[in-house]
């Protein structure tokens, strides 16, 4: 057996370590790496969903429409891009909808999910039928982000460009094509979708009446794939307060005369989440208290809910922050829940069978809030 000199052994050890580090980095960044750009068709369609969605359609009797939305051109973009989206319109049309239009929930999926998987997993359409909501499911395209992650961490997106601009334009187009009550539009998401919902609402507070953030990262930090991973694991205590101040200052710089309107939020977090860790919810709640001008102290009221029989519901706490009698922030902490939609369909990834039912909580919360009509 040939013995290697100490210097050669050291070089080989360093080489192996470097390769291992490269492999780890590639794995971590896979969820955030942009996909190569491909030409996309300009054609816009509106047609029933394909056969692969029959299970979803069977569970909810309303109209399930699929369409392509031409995205606004981006700087340096060589070809037109489109975004796929699905829209659920309940079969039963209440009189209030006939007069004012549908309240609309914009549902933003997480990484490694499609829009239809998110719809199936959350069972949101069945509840929307019951409670009289239309539901919009935009889908991040693989040509934009290969793991379908919304780019909530991107600085341009956080300041109103990128995915934020595309989604706001889509919501406006859907409101133009369908009878939607523009005072009752809500943004909701899971994980990266929750991060994107927060970004979208903070950049368009006159458009959205409330937000629902399930397992979402703190707003205003990250700014790179590696930074996003750090935020998900450790939060961003040094950037959290400054990020909200920057939103308010940018509003003044843009010449908006009216003050920032209230932005009610429901935040749901699993205490056993190891992907987006609970520190994020703590910092998000602090951001929303600051945003809504509420004191940073304890909640106005706290309710403790025990676990249900047979494991059908996890124990959880509900922390409500009120301004007078108006509920502006509800923070739900669920024992035993990992990185999954609470009360979802466990046959699909990122869904936990045990409740509480996050979809019902979202619609109940949204039903309390509407944006004031513009003068």
pLDDT in tens, 209-252: 999 999 999 999 999 989 999 999 999 999 999 999 999 998 88
Cβ-contact 100, 182 below 8 angstroms: no
Low-confidence ranges of the chain (pLDDT < 70): 1-58, 74-80, 373-375
Cβ-contact 277, 235 below 8 angstroms: yes
- CA angle at residue 145 from 235 to 228, to 5 degrees? 10
- Give residue 52's pLDDT: 38
pLDDT in tens, 288-341: 999 999 999 899 999 999 999 888 999 999 999 999 999 999 999 999 999 999
Radius of gyration (C-alpha) of the chain in whole angstroms:
22
Q: Of the candidates 71, 60, 68, which has an alpha carbon nearest to the alpha carbon of residue 44? A: 68
What CA dihedral angle connects 338, 344, 350 and 352, to 10 degrees? 30
- Give residue 71's pLDDT: 85
- Give residue 49's pLDDT: 41
Per DSSP, what are the bridge partners of residue 268? 214, 332
- Give residue 212's pLDDT: 98
Residue 342, classified by CB atoms within 10 Å of its CB into exposed (0-12), middle (13-18) or buried (19+), is: buried
Task: End-to-end CA distance of the chain: give it in Å, rounded.
Answer: 87
Exposure on the CB side of residue 365, measured as CA atoms within 13 A: 29
| Cα–Cα distances in angstroms (integers) from residue 44 to residues 82, 105, 142, in the given order | 8, 22, 18
Residue 150, classified by CB atoms within 10 Å of its CB into exposed (0-12), middle (13-18) or buried (19+), is: buried
Domains of the chain: 40-366 (3.40.50.1820)
Contacts of residues 244-253 at CB distance under 8 Å and 24 or more positions apart, as own/partner, are: 244/219, 244/220, 244/287, 244/290, 244/291, 246/220, 247/202, 247/220, 247/291, 248/291, 250/159
Other beta carbons within 10 angstroms of residue 2's beta carbon come to 3
| Cα–Cα distances in angstroms (integers) from residue 45 to residues 83, 85, 124, 164, 329, in the given order | 11, 10, 24, 22, 38
Q: Which two tokens stand for residue 343?
A: 């009360």
Cβ-contact 102, 179 below 8 angstroms: yes
pTM: 0.86
DSSP readout, 311-331?
GSB--EEEEEEEETTEEEEEE
d(CA 309, CA 276): 28
């Amino acid at each position: 057996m040939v013995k290697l000199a100490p210097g050669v052994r050291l070089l080989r050890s360093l080489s192996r370590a470097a390769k291992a580090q490269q492999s780890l980095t590639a794995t971590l960044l896979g969820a955030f790496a942009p996909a190569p750009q491909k030409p996309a068709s300009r054609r816009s369609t509106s047609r029933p969903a394909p056969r692969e969605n029959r299970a979803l359609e069977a569970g909810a009797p309303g109209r399930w429409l699929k369409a392509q939305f031409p995205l606004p051109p981006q700087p340096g973009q060589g070809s037109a891009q489109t975004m796929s989206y699905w829209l659920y319109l309940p079969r039963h049309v209440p009189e209030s909808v006939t007069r004012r239009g549908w309240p609309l929930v914009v549902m933003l999926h997480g990484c490694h999910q499609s829009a239809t998987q998110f719809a199936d997993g959350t069972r949101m359409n069945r509840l929307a039928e019951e409670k009289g909501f239309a539901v919009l499911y935009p889908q991040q395209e693989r040509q934009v982000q290969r793991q379908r992650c919304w780019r909530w961490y991107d600085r341009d997106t956080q300041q109103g460009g990128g995915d934020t601009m595309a989604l706001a334009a889509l919501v406006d187009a859907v409101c133009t094509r369908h009878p939607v009550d523009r005072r009752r539009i809500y943004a909701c998401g899971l994980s990266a979708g929750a991060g994107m919902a927060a970004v979208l609402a903070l950049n368009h507070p006159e458009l959205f009446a409330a937000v629902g953030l399930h397992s979402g990262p703190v707003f205003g930090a990250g700014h790179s794939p590696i930074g996003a991973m750090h935020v998900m694991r450790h939060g961003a205590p040094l950037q959290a307060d400054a990020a909200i101040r920057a939103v308010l200052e940018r509003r003044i710089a843009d010449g908006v005369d009216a003050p920032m309107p209230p932005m009610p939020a429901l935040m749901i977090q699993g205490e056993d989440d190891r992907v987006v860790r609970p520190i994020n919810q703590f910092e998000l709640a602090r951001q929303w208290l600051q945003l809504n001008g509420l004191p940073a102290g304890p909640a106005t009221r706290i309710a403790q809910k025990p676990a249900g029989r047979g494991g059908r519901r996890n124990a959880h706490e509900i922390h409500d922050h009120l301004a007078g009698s108006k509920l502006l922030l509800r923070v739900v902490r669920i024992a035993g829940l990992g990185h999954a939609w609470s009360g979802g369909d466990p046959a699909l990834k990122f869904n936990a069978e045990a409740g509480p039912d996050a979809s019902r909580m979202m619609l109940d919360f949204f039903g309390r809030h509407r944006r004031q009509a513009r003068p």
